[in-house]
């Protein structure tokens, strides 16, 4: 579990340090202040040198970029990760868990295709051509017990990804668009069953829709697996046929179990969910996180969700050793710089009850 996180040069997060972190970290604040950027930086920190996650994060932002994209377009999108105020060609994320300090530094180097070489350079023609063909290199350096590196290399013809030879920290990212896609969920459901969590997930889904009877993996005629609900009225139905709220809930539940012994990041927790379901989902996520030793990072814009988290904590205090295990990180700007008010749940509750402070706002 991370105790501290420090971020330099990643989007609008410059010199941001969050300390201490808890088992549950609820990130609140005005829109467009950097809450999602913070989750993305933690996700990259967990990657431990895997540059392919830069591409994965663009997909979560609804930007259809892949290794097959036009090289110049790919570079323009990848450069989005750097803060405009960052004078250095890199950003760095560092932190400390209970065992060791770690850091991930991602640097970028753009090449000029019109580079000229003289005969005295001692560089062969093939090497010169390779340099001319290179548009950009994004190097990933990781320092934990040793230094490792990977890179995402963009040339005029292709993209080469090399990951660092080191283990990642297990992490799952639930983004606002995750609303129940039955095919990828089928892969996640296998681990839900292996960990003996299927009954917990089915019980949750029945509470949200009492006509759901069970959840099963089925295969079509081509052998492609997908997840299905057995429903009292509609029989065996694709998950996509349920409402967006049910899809979001089962995506969140599956990702929670698959984050076992790692990190679960949930962006806009309340998205697509009815207010009546918030408290129950908070309790479910807390329970899974406790059983499977997961550290939570969750953003929300909803005052109802904020209250639901505080209520869920008060109903499950046995899952926490102290109020300090539940941190509320209130992002706000002062003199154009991002700051964090780091509150434990008791401090947050007192502010809500005594002066009616809306913790989502800057104060």
197-253 confidence digits (pLDDT tens): 999 999 999 999 999 999 999 987 778 899 999 999 999 998 988 888 999 999 999
Give the integer Cα–Cα distance in Å for 15 and 48.
20
Domains in the chain (CATH in brackets) are 171-355 (3.40.50.300)
- Range from 79-88, 244-253, 320-329 carrying the lowest mean pLDDT: 79-88
Mean pLDDT, to the nearest integer, of 146-164? 83
Mean pLDDT, to the nearest integer, of 138-156? 80
pLDDT at position 354 over 70:
no
User: What tokens does 121 get?
Assistant: 């350079």
pLDDT at position 118 over 60:
no
More confident residue, 83 or 197: 197
**What does the pLDDT read at residue 361?**
62
Mean pLDDT, to the nearest integer, of 253-278? 94
Residue 330 Cα distances to 41, 55, 310, 327, 334, angstroms:
17, 28, 15, 9, 13
Beta strands in the chain (DSSP E): 2-8, 16-18, 24-28, 90-97, 101-110, 134-143, 147-155, 159-162, 171-174, 212-219, 225-231, 235-238, 263-266, 295-299, 326-334, 337-344
Of 90-99, 131-140, 314-323, highest mean pLDDT: 314-323
**What does the pLDDT read at residue 114?**
45
């Amino acid at each position: 579990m991370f105790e501290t996180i420090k971020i330099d040069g990643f989007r609008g997060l410059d010199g941001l340090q969050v300390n201490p972190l808890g088992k549950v970290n609820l990130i609140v604040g005005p829109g467009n202040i950097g809450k999602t950027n913070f989750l993305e930086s933690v996700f990259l920190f967990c990657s431990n040198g895997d540059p392919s996650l830069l591409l994965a994060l663009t997909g979560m932002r609804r930007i259809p970029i892949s290794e097959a994209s036009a090289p110049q377009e790919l570079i323009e999108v990848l450069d989005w990760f750097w803060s405009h105020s960052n004078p250095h060609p890199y950003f760095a994320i560092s932190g400390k868990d209970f065992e060791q300090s770690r850091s991930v530094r991602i640097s970028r180097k753009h090449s000029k295709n019109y580079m000229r070489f003289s005969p005295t350079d001692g560089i062969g023609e093939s090497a010169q051509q390779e340099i001319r063909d290179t548009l950009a290199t994004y190097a990933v350096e990781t320092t934990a017990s040793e230094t490792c590196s990977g890179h995402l290399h963009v040339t005029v013809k292709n993209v080469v990804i090399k990951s660092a030879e080191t283990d990642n920290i297990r992490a799952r990212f639930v983004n606002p668009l995750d609303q129940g896609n039955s095919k990828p969920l089928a892969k996640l459901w296998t681990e839900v069953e292996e960990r003996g969590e299927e009954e917990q997930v089915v019980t949750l889904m029945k509470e949200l829709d009492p006509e759901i009877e069970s959840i099963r993996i089925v295969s079509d005629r081509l052998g492609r697996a997908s997840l299905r609900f057995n429903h009292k009225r509609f029989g065996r139905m694709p998950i996509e046929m349920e409402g967006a709220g049910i899809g979001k809930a089962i995506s969140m539940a599956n990702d929670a179990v698959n984050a076992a012994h790692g990190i679960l990041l949930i962006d806009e927790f309340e998205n697509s969910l009815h207010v009546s379901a918030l408290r129950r989902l908070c309790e479910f996520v807390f329970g899974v996180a406790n059983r499977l030793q997961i550290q939570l990072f969750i953003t929300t814009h909803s005052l109802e969700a904020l209250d639901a988290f505080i209520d869920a904590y008060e109903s499950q205090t046995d899952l926490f050793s102290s109020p300090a295990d539940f941190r509320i990180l209130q992002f706000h700007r002062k003199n154009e710089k991002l700051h964090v008010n780091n509150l434990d749940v008791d401090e947050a509750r007192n502010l809500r009850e005594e002066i009616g402070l809306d913790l989502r706002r800057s104060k």
